[in-house]
C-alpha cells in the first residue's frame, strides 16, 4: 500500500514570496490533515478536512495560509506571503473515517526555509 | 487552552527499559497516542489508548494511563538502538478531532 506522498521535500524561498505544498493521501482515506512542525516542537494542526469539507481550521493563519482539497483526494497548502517564522516542516497526514480508525498516517513532510 | 507536556530527553542503555512520561490538561481527551519520529521521516503511530482504559500492552510497549492525574507513560522493554527516535505524546477528543501533540521526548539508546 502506498503511503502519504508529499512534494516538494525541500523548499527555500525569500520572505514575502509565495509557496505551495502538495499532498496525496492514502487511497480511500477520508480525512486529511496539515500540520506545521517548527524545529524542536511537536506538530501543530493547521487544518483538517473530512472529504471535501473543512472540519477544523481554527489554527490556520488565514491572512496568509490557505488550503484546499479538491474532489476529496489531493490537497494543496499555500502560504502567501511567507514570513521568516513560517520556516518549519509541513506534514500531511490522512486517516480513514473517524468511526473506523483514529490512526493518522503521516507523509515525510516538506521542509520550508524562509530567508 | 489544552496542553501536552513531555520531558525533552531520555538516555538509556541497550537492553534496559525506557519510560517516557507525558502530562495533559484537557480532561475531555478521549484518545491518547504515542507516535515515533525517526530523522527525516514523518510520524508513525506506535499505540493509542482510550481514556476509559488504565493500561494497554503491545509486545515490548506498555502504556499506562492515570486519568486522575492526567498522566500517560510509555514503557519500552528491552530497548534497542533502533528505538532511538523522538517520541510524541498526543491527545484528541471524541471523534479523533483536534489532535494536540507534545514537544516530543528524544530517546538516546547507548550500545
Mean pLDDT, range B7-21, rounded to an integer: 96
- Tell me the torsion sign for CA atoms A22, A45, B90, B17: positive
**What confidence score (pLDDT) does residue B92 get?**
87
Lowest mean pLDDT among A43-47, B34-38, B90-94: B90-94
- Can you name the residues that pair with A78 across neighbouring β-strands? A20, A66
**What confidence score (pLDDT) does residue B37 get?**
94
The pLDDT mean for chain B works out to 91
Q: Is B98 on the interface with A (CB under 8 A)?
A: yes
Q: Which residue has the cell 517564522?
A: A85
Mean pLDDT, range A46-73, rounded to an integer: 92
Contacts with B43 from chain A: Cβ below 8 Å: 43, 91, 93, 104, 106
Contacts with A55 from chain B: Cβ below 8 Å: 97
Q: For the segment B39-77, what is each residue's pLDDT rounded down to a tens digit?
A: 888 899 999 998 888 999 999 999 999 999 999 999 999
**What confidence score (pLDDT) does residue B25 get?**
86
Lowest mean pLDDT among A41-45, A111-115, B1-5, B26-30: B26-30
A96 pLDDT higher than 80: yes
Q: Around Cβ B36, how many Cβ atoms within 10 Å?
A: 19
Q: What is the DSSP string of A65-93?
A: EEEEEGGGS-EEEEESS--GGG-EEEEEE
The minimal CB distance from B103 to the residues A40, A48, A56 is found for A40
pLDDT bracket for residue A1 (50, 70, 90): low
Q: For the segment B75-92, what is each residue's pLDDT rounded down to a tens digit?
A: 999 999 999 999 999 998
Q: Please enumerate residues of A whose Cβ is less than 8 A from a Cβ of B.
A: 4, 31, 33, 40-45, 48, 55-56, 91, 93, 95, 98, 102-109
Contacts with B88 from chain A: Cβ below 8 Å: 42-43
- Chain B nearest CA to A57, separation (Å): 10
Given 3-state DSSP classes, what are the helix, strand and coil percentages for chain A, each rounded to the nearest 5? 5, 50, 45
- Cβ–Cβ gap A93/B42 under 8 Å: yes
pLDDT bracket for residue B95 (50, 70, 90): low
The minimal CB distance from B42 to the residues A48, A55, A108 is found for A108
Of A70, A30, A33, the C-alpha closest to A50 is A30
Contacts with A107 from chain B: Cβ below 8 Å: 42
pLDDT bracket for residue A103 (50, 70, 90): confident
Q: For the segment A19-35, what is each residue's pLDDT rounded down to a tens digit?
A: 999 999 999 999 999 99
- Cβ–Cβ gap A42/B103 under 8 Å: yes
**What confidence score (pLDDT) does residue B1 get?**
60
**CB pairs < 8 Å spanning A and B:** 51
- Cβ–Cβ gap A108/B90 under 8 Å: no
- Cβ–Cβ gap B43/A43 under 8 Å: yes
**What confidence score (pLDDT) does residue A52 get?**
84
What is the rounded (10 degree) CA torsion for B92, A7, B85, B97?
A: 0
What distance in Å separates the CA atoms of residue A64 and residue A44, rounded to the nearest whole number? 17
- Bigger pLDDT: A40 vs A1: A40
Q: Around Cβ A81, how many Cβ atoms within 10 Å?
A: 15
**What confidence score (pLDDT) does residue A12 get?**
98
Q: Length of chain A in residues, anyone?
A: 115
Helix, coil or strand: residue B82: helix
**What confidence score (pLDDT) does residue A67 get?**
97
Amino acid at each position: 500500500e502506498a503511503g502519504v506522498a508529499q512534494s516538494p521535500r525541500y523548499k527555500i524561498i525569500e520572505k514575502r514570496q509565495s509557496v505551495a505544498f502538495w499532498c496525496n493521501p492514502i487511497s480511500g482515506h477520508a480525512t486529511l490533515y496539515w500540520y506545521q512542525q517548527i524545529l524542536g516542537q511537536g506538530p501543530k494542526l493547521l487544518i483538517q478536512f473530512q472529504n471535501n469539507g473543512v472540519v477544523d481550521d481554527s489554527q490556520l493563519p488565514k491572512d496568509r495560509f490557505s488550503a484546499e482539497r479538491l474532489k476529496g483526494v489531493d490537497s494543496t497548502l499555500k502560504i502567501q506571503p511567507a514570513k521568516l517564522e513560517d520556516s518549519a516542516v509541513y506534514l500531511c497526514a490522512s486517516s480513514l473515517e473517524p468511526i473506523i480508525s483514529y490512526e493518522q498516517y503521516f507523509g515525510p513532510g516538506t521542509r520550508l526555509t524562509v530567508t | 487552552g489544552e496542553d501536552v507536556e513531555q520531558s525533552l530527553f531520555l538516555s538509556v542503555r541497550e537492553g534496559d527499559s525506557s519510560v517516557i512520561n507525558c502530562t495533559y490538561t484537557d480532561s475531555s481527551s478521549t484518545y491518547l497516542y504515542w507516535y515515533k519520529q525517526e530523522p527525516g521521516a514523518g510520524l508513525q503511530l506506535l499505540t493509542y489508548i482510550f481514556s476509559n482504559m488504565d493500561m494497554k500492552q503491545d509486545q515490548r510497549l506498555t502504556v499506562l494511563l492515570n486519568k486522575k492525574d492526567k498522566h500517560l507513560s510509555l514503557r519500552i522493554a528491552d530497548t534497542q538502538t533502533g528505538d532511538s527516535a523522538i517520541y510524541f505524546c498526543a491527545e484528541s477528543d471524541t471523534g479523533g478531532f483536534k489532535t494536540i501533540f507534545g514537544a516530543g521526548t528524544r530517546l538516546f539508546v547507548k550500545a
